[in-house]
Structure 1
Amino acid sequence: MNLEDFSPEIGEVSEELGEIKENLGIYRFSIFRVEDLSPLEGKLPKARSGHRIAYYNGRFFSYGGYNPKIDEGDEDMFEDPFREESFPLFKELWEFNLSTRNWRKIELGGPDIPEQLASHTAVFHPVYRGCLLIYGGTGNPFGSVTSTALHACDVRTGKFIKLRTLPSQAEPLALYGQSICLDKSGTLFTVGGTTGFQYFMDINSIDLTRSEPSWDRLNSSSDPAEPHPRYRHEIAVYDGKIYLLGGGTSTSVCGFQTIPTFHIGEKYWYTTKTNCDRDATIDEGDGDGYPDARRCHGLVQTDHRVWIIAGYDGHEIFSDVWCLDLLTMDWKKINIELPKPVYFHGVTLTQEGRVVIFGGVDNIQLNTRTNQIYSFWLKVPSLRCMAWESVKHYIPKMNKIPQGKLREVGIPDDLIENLSAGGQAICG
């Protein structure tokens, strides 16, 4: 396909594409290469922290967030119908299209828009397509507005409802800063969290494949091997076990030399020793081949590997990436650094293996946040996905070209549809 194929019929866009062709150079795919995806035009969400993001259908969705540095007189905030009740938190749902690199703010509706806008969790429902689940979290002041409800949002309409669950004595405590993980069977696990004053290490689960699910309590409070209670940790589920990674309290952080592990079937805690990265240099991690202890980091999981991304130890913000193989328990320092160190950021993973990072606190002294988006690939995706990435590289404003012209040059309909709001799923 040549860019000249488009030029006769796209008017002013053709001149712009001519400049793009000269300046962008040859597309080259590479894993572990950080790319800035932040858009150059259009309305953007404000810089924020404490939000959560989740990937679905060629896009990621961001709910909530917090920024005490936003001016109450900011004109952009006057358009927010929830400004008076939520400021300086963001009662917002944003969609970012990974094909067009455009943001879209989704109008919220429904009877049950969650008030928990910071340190909540977000994941897409394993059965109902396009249903974003928001669980846990807190409002302002922190710790005063908490909930045990699972809030469900249809991202096509922005309508929120509370997911119906059967009454259960095992319902989790109303906390924030907990961690969740959805396993392959459709069971959601939640671990830990805080009220703002007290920290917990409860483990609860709910089978979301049932029409009316109910919560189960998995751990016993009398287990002597139970790890220290914490918040803003991350968890991974693999081979019938829950692995607890990092986290801490307002004054402490947890390390990674040993990993608290919970056996789901037998319902007990034990400790798993990990192996250092012997190739890591002395100034990487804690000096002996392990990641520095931290909380408020990001985590993604690809089968038996988990990836720790950035975070904070109470003094330093990190920009590093580490991988733990759950089969061998070997740590590996990945040879990349984020352009900005961040914590309280949002992290998600596409189905083709692309990590996306949005927002977070980027400066302790100035107490500032960012709204930048970074991305890198963990693996080589499908050939179709790589071809689409190449086309997007050469024609970054493809959504401005008439769809009929795109069809004429052979771009498949599902990819064309993904250029508009609510399009069909493609590669990430």
Structure 2
Amino acid sequence: MAAPMNVGHIVTLSPKKNPITDDFRPHERSGHCCVADNSFLYSIGGIFYDPLEIMLMEEGDNYNPVFNEIWCYNISLNLWSKVSMRGHSPYLTASMSSLLSGNMIITFGGSGFPFGAESDNRVHTFNVRTHTWKTLPCTGEKPHAKYGQAMVLVHNHYLYVYGGCRRVPSGAFLFDSDLHRVSLQSLVWEKMRDPTKEKLKKNTTRSAMRKQAAFSDKDGEDVENDDEDEAGGNDDDGGGDNNDDDIGDDEEEEKDMYPLAAGSYRHHIVNDEERLYIIGGGTLWREVYPLDIIHSFSYATSTWEILHSHGDPDHPDGFPSPRKYHTCVQKDNDVFITGGHNGYEVFDDIWKLTLPDLQWTRLAVTLPNTLFFHAAAMTPAGCMYVFGGVCNIENNMRTAGLHRIWLYIPSLQETCWHNILHFIPQIGSMSQEQLLALGIPRMFIDRLHWDKSVLE
């Protein structure tokens, strides 16, 4: 029996046993990705580990808690299936980025275990029709290998990647604020540089060179220094200190002019026709970014800007609490975020942000439980699915729960299809000929049937 289509209400789904594979659902996980069309929800990668098991590990133990797999949820039949994959699949799938474009799942980045010991900077595609992986032969100014970044497809041409985390040779974690894009036609990467920032850096370099030259000249025995005042006078120590202080001021000014210069991790990117918007994120465990101000990048000018959003006048908080590890989905100019945490508190709330006026609205409904490191996807028809994640910050307990909420009134077509599923529960076992004889359009029949050879 199909679950109710109550708009604005969360439904916790109970998938049926798959008659072909005997699967009920994927294993509990976090750090995975989800994408969806109107027929299927796909879950890519992720991780599950037992902290106690890690503590008991001995040197040389081969332990890999990262999932190198894709699961497919048939929305019409309420069935999960693990997909048999062809080609060379990415194995660094924890905190990777993914999106669905036509029949292609596109992924970037990701980490293995231990986190950051190995990361990825390649673009991979997975054809949901042929179930084949391919690595794109990209060139140009590639991003660093990293994980926890965000990605978005702009004008169906450029893939933009922002931020993320990587481990440097010293063992420290480095968060970056780099923005790159790659053309899916030429497959050439380029780093997006803010002209304002570049001009500031050039002026800073020139100023430092002038002061260093003046500082060096006054140490010479026979050289007359016309720039002693600019360099800090005749006191050697004073000249050096002034030089350092001035450069520091320039760097602080540069940081102010370039949003999120400290880097960002586990944030999201959304977009409209003119801009990218960074939603949430943070760096260290308890460092999170607010959501009342939003950092935005203009395609036309390649410049960053800090924008102020508008709070919900009907909610006492007005704005979502600062957070990372949340989910973020978009349909047209509506953006929805769920869950996440700020280092102290895990959230179960759902908020909508309307672009481009940046108006926040708190939804009356909440997730069934608090969640972070979960994944969500929006169907073109306007239904959001939320899968997996960590539901308890104290014991790091993960879940395989699957939830659904219609955020828009379904079309008449979708409503009719839902009723057919409700009144013909055996529809999944019927042949295409039988379904066509009933007058069911082929576009809906295709939601029921798939090539059984691609299922494990």
TM bucket (normalised to shorter chain) is 0.7 to 0.9
**Displacement after TM superposition at 1:48 (Å):** 0.2
Report 1:84-99 matches (<5 A): 87-99=64-76
The two structures have a TM-score, normalised by structure 1, of 0.82
Distance 2:403 2:51 in 1: 22
Distance 2:433 2:52 in 1: 45
Match of 1:137 in 2: 110
Match of 2:354 in 1: 325
**Displacement after TM superposition at 1:142 (Å):** 0.6
1:227 to 259, 263, 268: 259
- State the secondary structure of the residue aligned to 2:148: coil
Distance 2:294 2:27 in 1: 36
Question: Is 1:214 aligned to 2:194, yes or no?
Answer: no
Distance 1:340 1:136 in 2: 29
**Displacement after TM superposition at 1:255 (Å):** 1.0
Distance 1:297 1:326 in 2: 19
Conserved 8 A contact 1:309-1:321: yes
Report 1:329-340 matches (<5 A): 329-340=358-369
Report 1:276-355 matches (<5 A): 276-280=311-315, 282=316, 288-355=317-384
Letter in 1 for 2:77: T
Distance 1:113 1:404 in 2: 36
Which blocks of at least 5 consecutive residues in structure 1 are unaligned? 1-19, 73-83, 283-287, 424-428
Distance 1:314 1:204 in 2: 28
**Displacement after TM superposition at 1:408 (Å):** 3.6
Letter in 2 for 1:214: V
**Displacement after TM superposition at 1:404 (Å):** 4.1
Conserved 8 A contact 1:38-1:374: no
CA gap of 1:384–1:85, structure 2 versus 1, over 3 A, is farther
1:379 to 387, 390, 408: 408
1:69 to 50, 53, 62: 50
Match of 1:264 in 2: 299
- State the secondary structure of the residue aligned to 2:415: helix
2:96 to 120, 129, 153: 120
Match of 1:59 in 2: 40
Deviation by residue 1:55-77 (Cα, 9 ceiling, x = unmatched)? 136112111111113998xxxxx
CA gap of 1:406–1:363, structure 2 versus 1, over 3 A, is same
**Displacement after TM superposition at 1:30 (Å):** 3.1
Conserved 8 A contact 2:66-2:92: no
Match of 1:4 in 2: none
Distance 2:423 2:284 in 1: 47
Match of 1:16 in 2: none
Distance 2:350 2:328 in 1: 10
Question: Is 1:46 aligned to 2:27, yes or no?
Answer: yes
Letter in 2 for 1:144: A
Match of 2:148 in 1: 177
Letter in 2 for 1:292: S
Deviation by residue 1:160-189 (Cα, 9 ceiling, x = unmatched)? 221122x21x21111110001112333211
Distance 1:192 1:38 in 2: 36
**Displacement after TM superposition at 1:256 (Å):** 0.8
**Displacement after TM superposition at 1:351 (Å):** 0.9
**Displacement after TM superposition at 1:407 (Å):** 3.5
Conserved 8 A contact 1:201-1:226: no
Segment drifting more, 35-44 vs 299-308: 35-44
**Displacement after TM superposition at 1:412 (Å):** 2.4
**Displacement after TM superposition at 1:108 (Å):** 2.5
Deviation by residue 1:4-46 (Cα, 9 ceiling, x = unmatched)? xxxxxxxxxxxxxxxx6xxx8xx86432111223303231210
Q: For the aligned residues, what is the CA RMSD?
A: 2.3
**Displacement after TM superposition at 1:141 (Å):** 1.0
Aligned residues: 374
**Displacement after TM superposition at 1:396 (Å):** 4.2
1:244 to 275, 278, 302: 278
**Displacement after TM superposition at 1:260 (Å):** 1.0
Letter in 2 for 1:393: H
Distance 1:178 1:323 in 2: 22
Question: Is 1:205 aligned to 2:181, yes or no?
Answer: yes
Distance 2:388 2:419 in 1: 26
CA gap of 1:396–1:134, structure 2 versus 1, over 3 A, is farther
CA gap of 1:86–1:206, structure 2 versus 1, over 3 A, is farther
CA gap of 1:417–1:242, structure 2 versus 1, over 3 A, is closer
Conserved 8 A contact 2:120-2:145: yes
Question: Is 1:188 aligned to 2:159, yes or no?
Answer: yes
CA gap of 1:323–1:408, structure 2 versus 1, over 3 A, is same
Letter in 2 for 1:106: V
Letter in 2 for 1:124: L
Distance 1:102 1:307 in 2: 26
Conserved 8 A contact 1:70-1:88: no
**Displacement after TM superposition at 1:422 (Å):** 5.0
Match of 1:103 in 2: 80
Deviation by residue 1:340-380 (Cα, 9 ceiling, x = unmatched)? 21111111111111111111111112211111111111212
Distance 2:425 2:175 in 1: 47
Letter in 1 for 2:46: G
- State the secondary structure of the residue aligned to 2:399: strand
Bigger Cα Rg: 2
CA gap of 1:150–1:85, structure 2 versus 1, over 3 A, is farther
- State the secondary structure of the residue aligned to 1:312: coil
